[in-house]
Structure 1
Amino acid sequence: MAIAEARAWSREEAAAAGMVLAWHAAQAPEKPAILSEAGNRTFGELNARANQLVRALRRAGLKAGDAVALLCSNRPEFVETVAACQRGGFRLTPVNWHLKGSEVGYIVDNCEAKAFVADARFPASAMEAARMSPGLVVKLAAGGEIEGFTSYDAAVEAEDGADLADPALGTQMMYTSGTTGHPKGVFRRQAAPVSPLLVKLTETAAFRDGDMALVTGPLYHAAPLALNLSFPINAGVGCVLMDKWDAEETLRLVEEYRITHTHVVPTMLHRMLQLPEATKAKYDTSSLRWILHGAAPCPAHVKEGSIVWFGPVVFEYYAATEGGGIFVDSHEWPEKKGTVGKPLPGVIVEVHDEDGKPVKPRDVGTIYFKAPEQGRFEYYKAPEKTEGAYRGDFYTMGDMGYIDEDGFLFLTGRSAEVIISGGVNIYPAEIDQEILKHPAVADAAAVGVPNEEWGEEVKLVVELNEGYRADDAMARELLDFAAANLPGYQRPRSVDFMQELPRMPSGKVLRRNIRDAYWQGEKKI
Structure 2
Amino acid sequence: MKLNMPEFYNFAAQVDEWAVKHPEKRAVWELDEQGNEAVLTYDELRRYSNRIANVLGTIGIEQGDKVLVLVPRGITAYGLYLALLKLGAVIMPGSEMLRYKDIEYRVNHAKAKAVIGFEGILEEVEPARGQCDSLRHFVTIGHAKDGWIGLQDLLGDQDEEFVCAQTRADELAFLSYTSGTTGGPKGVMHVHGWPFAHLAVAAKQWLDVREDDTVWATAGPGWAKWIWSPFVSTLGMGATAFVYKGRFGAETYLNLLQKYPVSVLCATPTEYRLMAKVTDLDQYKLQALRSACSAGEPLNREVIDTFRRVFDLTVRDGYGQTENTLLVGTFVGVEPRPGSMGRPSPVVQVAIVDEEGAELPTGKVGDIAIDRHMVALFKGYLDDPERTAKAFRGEWYVTGDQGRMDEDGYIWFEGRSDDIIISGGYTIGPFEVEDALVKHPAVAECAAVASPDPERGNIVKAFVILKKGSTPSDELTAELQEHVKNLTAPYKYPRKIEFVEELPKTSSGKIRRIELRQKEKQQQS
- How does the TM-score come out when normalised to structure 2? 0.89
Shift of 1:160: 0.2
Q: Could you tell me which residue of structure 2 aligns to residue 509 of structure 1?
A: 511
Alpha-carbon displacement from aligned partner over 1:277-301 (angstroms, at most 9, x marks no partner): 0xx3454312111111111011221
1:435 correspondence with 2:429: no
CA RMSD of aligned residues (A): 2.8
168-177 vs 471-480, which deviates more? 471-480
User: What pairs up with 1:368-379 in 2 under 5 angstroms?
Assistant: 368-372=369-373, 376-379=378-381
Match of 1:82 in 2: 81
Residues 93 and 174, structure 1, Cα contact 8 Å, conserved in 2 = yes
Conserved 8 A contact 2:68-2:112: yes
Moved more, 77-86 or 179-188: 179-188
State the match for 2:61 in structure 1. 62
- Equivalent-residue separation in structure 2 for 1:13 and 1:381 (angstroms): 25
Equivalent position to 1:18, from 12, 18, 29? 12
Aligned-pair CA distance for 1:54: 1.6
Deviations 1:19-53 (CA, angstroms, capped at 9, x unpaired): 22322223333322222238432222211111112
Picking from 227, 231, 255, the partner of 2:229 is 227
| % identical equivalent positions | 27
Displacement of 1:151 in angstroms is 0.7
Is residue 25 of structure 2 the alignment partner of residue 31 of structure 1?
yes
Q: Answer with 173-182 or 16-25: which moved more.
A: 16-25
Q: In 2, Cα distance between the equivalents of 1:96 and 1:358? A: 37
In 1, the alpha carbon distance for the partners of 2:251 and 2:195 equals 39
1:185 to 184, 187, 190: 187
Q: Secondary structure at the match of 1:358?
A: coil
The Cα of 1:252 is off from its aligned counterpart by 2.2
Structure 1 range deviating more: 182-191 or 71-80: 182-191
Residues 473 and 79 from structure 1, CA distance in 2 versus in 1: closer, same or farther, beyond 3 angstroms?
Answer: closer
2:207 touches 2:293 (CA, 8 Å); kept in 1? no
Give the AA of the match of 1:300: R
Moved more, 320-329 or 454-463: 320-329
Q: 1:399 aligns with which of 380, 398, 401?
A: 401
> How far 1:171 moved relative to its partner?
2.0
Range that drifts further, 49-58 or 161-170? 161-170
**Helix, strand or coil at the partner of 2:120:** coil
1:173 match: 175
Q: Distance in 2 between matches of 1:17 and 1:402?
A: 35
Shift of 1:148: 0.9
The unaligned stretches of length 5 or more in structure 2 are 1-5
Q: 1:287 to 1:508 in 2, by over 3 A?
A: same
For 1:114 and 1:471, locate their aligned partners in 2 and report how far apart those are by CA, in whole Å.
45
- Return the structure number with greater relative CO, CA threshold 8 A, min gap 6: 2
Q: Does 1:339 align with 2:340?
A: yes
Larger CA deviation: 102-111 vs 92-101: 102-111
Per the alignment, residue 446 of structure 2 pairs with 444
In the alignment, which residue of structure 2 is the partner of 1:305? 306
Q: Post-superposition shift, 1:132?
A: 3.4
Q: How does 1:203-242 map to 2 (within 5 A)?
A: 203=205, 205-208=207-210, 210-242=212-244
Query: Is 1:52 aligned to 2:51, yes or no?
Result: yes
Contact 1:333 1:339 in 2 (8 A): no
* Counterpart Cα distance in 2 of 1:475 and 1:373: 46
Work out whether residues 276 and 306 of structure 2, in 8 Å CA contact, stay in contact via their aligned partners in 1: yes
2:310 is aligned with what amino acid? W
The 1:441/1:67 distance shift into structure 2, 3 A limit, reads closer
- Residue 406 of structure 1: how far off its partner (Å): 1.8
Partner of 1:105 in structure 2? 104
Q: Deviations over 1:114-142 (max 9, x none)?
A: 23211112111232344333333332211
Q: Distance in 2 between matches of 1:51 and 1:137?
A: 22
Deviation at 1:255, TM superposition (A): 2.5
CA distance 1:200–1:183, change in 2 (3 Å): closer
The aligned residue for residue 496 of structure 1 is 498
**Deviations for 1:156-209, whole angstroms, at most 9, x for unmatched residues?**
222100242765478222111211212111114684595377425314555445
SS at match of 1:509: coil
For residues 69-107 of structure 1, what are the alpha-carbon distances to aligned partners after superposition, in whole Å with 9 as ceiling and x for unaligned? 211011222110111122222211111222211211221
Per the alignment, in what secondary structure is the counterpart of residue 62 of structure 2?
coil
Helix, strand or coil: the match of 2:422? strand
> 2:83 is matched by which residue type in structure 1?
A
TM-score of the two chains, using structure 1 as the length reference:
0.89
Deviation larger for 90-99 or 169-178: 169-178
For the residue of structure 2 that corresponds to 1:18, the secondary structure is helix
CA distance in 1, matches of 2:8, 2:226: 23
Structure 2 contact 206–331 (Cα < 8 Å) conserved: no
Further displaced range: 414-423 or 225-234: 225-234
Q: Where in structure 2 are the equivalents of 1:117-196 lying within 5 Å?
A: 117-164=116-163, 168=167, 171-188=173-190, 191=193, 194-195=196-197
Paired residue for 1:248? 251
Contact kept? 2:11, 2:196, Cα under 8 Å: no
- Change in 2 beyond 3 A, CA 1:192/1:241: closer
Gaps of 5+ in 1: 1-11
